[in-house]
Amino acid sequence: MYILRCSDGTLYTGWTYDTVARLGAHNSGRGARYTASRLPVEMVYCERVRSKSEALRLERAIKRMGRERKERLAESSAGATG
């Protein structure tokens, strides 16, 4: 589970098995339509979880959070790279 900060300052939340590869995919324009038009992106939060279902639950919960709370998550793991 990860959060990216896009070049326009917006935050993007997703999940993957390999955060380093996924960040590379996003920055090459192959990650998601949303991030492709907001390059470059940087990973500001990542959290390892035990299963895909847990990652999806966490992703959904984070997407429901307000921006301020997401920013606090990002600050709590400054420099996260996976």
Per-domain boundaries in the chain: 2-76
Question: Given this model, what pLDDT does residue 66 score?
Answer: 94
Q: Counting runs of H as helices and runs of E as strands, what totals does the chain give?
A: 4, 3
pLDDT greater than 70 at residue 21:
yes
Report pTM.
Answer: 0.87
Q: What is the CATH number of domain 2-76?
A: 3.40.1440.10
Q: What is the mean pLDDT of residues 25-39?
A: 96
| Average pLDDT value for the chain | 92
How far is it, in rounded angstroms, from Cα 64 to Cα 82?
A: 23
